[in-house]
Chains A and B, each alone.
Chain A
Amino acid sequence: MAYEIVPYALEFEPQIIQLQTHLWGAGTVRNAAYLEWKYAANPFFDHILMQLALCDGRVVAMRGLCGTQWEVDDSTGRYLLPYADDFVVAPEHRKRGPASLVMQAALAEGTQRGFPYAISLGASPITFVSSLAAGWRSAGPYESVWRRRTPSLRERVAQRIRQLTRFDRVAAWWRTLQGREIHRPFAHLDARGGAGPMSVAAEPRPQAMAALIERLPWDGRIRHVRNLAYFTWRFRNPLHEYRFVFWDDGGDLRGYLVLQRYLSERADTGCINIVDWEAAAEHVRAELLRAALQWGRFPRVHTWAVGRDDATRALLREHGFVAEERASVRKQSGLLVHPLAQTPASAVWQLGRRDLLRIADWDPRMLYSMAG
């Protein structure tokens, strides 16, 4: 089959939205909102960096790179980098070649626009493999840690009832009850609402959060710029739902913890991710975690431990988080980098004075990844 590779144009948008249903699931309204949020409303790029493969005039594959802004060494060193994420090929065109063509074209566009590197923090295992084959290099894995709560008495009873088919009506009633929890995983957290200096909210407080980041010490490792524009935009992702646990003290925000879950039926909707977590003092950090877990009563919570200090890792362990076993190819992912400028393969890939391929030079958060 012959493919024509073209850059994004508004006229293709309905077809792109339709194509995205293969990635994010049914519901063109939500897919349209996602496209608008991620690319058109992106606070860092004023253009849409996306390449499409056409076959007989129809969009059959896309690769999108959205805008991100990173800081390193000190806040004067700021870099705009395209973040490679949405990558979808229509099922009937898979294994026919358009995937590598759109990927190459997207990187070529990034080069043309003068960006030094492209990055990716949330590649699916499929994209991770093909990215490595296409010259991307991995800085390292995220050290995923999970907390799986022991089922409560009610959950164990529900499980037992489900096994007993002769109690059909009772089983159906329990399923309904359980279903409520699956579809409203933040119900317990919302019902609690907060206590003392801590409060639970469904909306971020961009100004206060950005001011807190500004006040907190930073060791100069590579991190995403978390300013007012970023926080205002970031949590509007229509494919995710967020909750915020805030700690206020005398009118000042002293800490926050952000929980996220997926809304797409193609994702793991029962998993809660801790995507960002900052505090001005250790006891605030510890209390935020304790409150989120205790109040939320989530069956499964996941976060990245990479880049976290020993005290935070110990805190996660205390609360029952355990490291994922060595991942099979089926689950492998990690922070990926690709040079766009004329960078010799032998050169150190640097941002400021930091090595992009050394995970210890990064201060990653799940929030920086589009998985968060």
Chain B
Amino acid sequence: MRLRDELLLFITASGIVLPDDVGTDTSLIRSGLLDSSALFELALWVEDRVAVGLDLTSFDLAEEWDTLAKLERFIERHRRSAL
């Protein structure tokens, strides 16, 4: 399964109601779609795929996680740097 599909599956499975027309560039954070509980679950999910001890203060979370496309790029970049 592609990372983007995994991500979408995780978001919908965790009970977050996404608009029908959600796309890879739909704002998730700045738009308020993801609230505090959803963001925390997302952070745990990303950490599982990147590295334990992901420092959330070392990047602009609202910017770098705002869309599915950005999230995907973030995870891939951090996976590569962990290798």
Contact = CB atoms under 8 A, between A and B. Distances in A.
A330 B40 CA distance: 8
Given A129-B61, A134-B62, A328-B52, A99 B44 contact: no
Interface residues of B, number: 26
Interface string A111-143: 000000000000001111110111101101000
A327 B29 CA distance: 24
A249 B34 CA distance: 57
Which of A97, A128, A130, A135 has most chain B Cβ within 10 Å? A130
B53 A326 contact: yes
A327 B53 contact: yes
Contacts of A138: 57
Interface stretch (B2-10, B11-19, B70-78): B11-19
Contacts of B57: 132, 137-138, 140, 332, 334
B35 A97 contact: yes
Q: How large is the interface on A (under 10, 10 to 19, 20 to 34, 35 or more residues)?
A: 20 to 34
B32 A87 contact: no
Nearest to A1: B17
Contacts of A330: 44
Given A129-B40, A326-B53, A98 B35 contact: yes
A100 B38 contact: no
Interface of A: 87, 89, 94-101, 103, 125-130, 132-135, 137-138, 140, 326-330, 332, 334
20 contacts: A87-B36, A95-B15, A95-B34, A97-B32, A97-B33, A100-B32, A125-B40, A126-B36, A127-B36, A129-B36, A132-B56, A132-B57, A133-B62, A133-B65, A138-B57, A326-B52, A328-B52, A329-B43, A330-B44, A334-B57
Given A130-B36, A132-B56, 9 more contacts: A89-B36, A96-B35, A103-B36, A129-B43, A130-B40, A132-B57, A132-B61, A329-B40, A329-B56
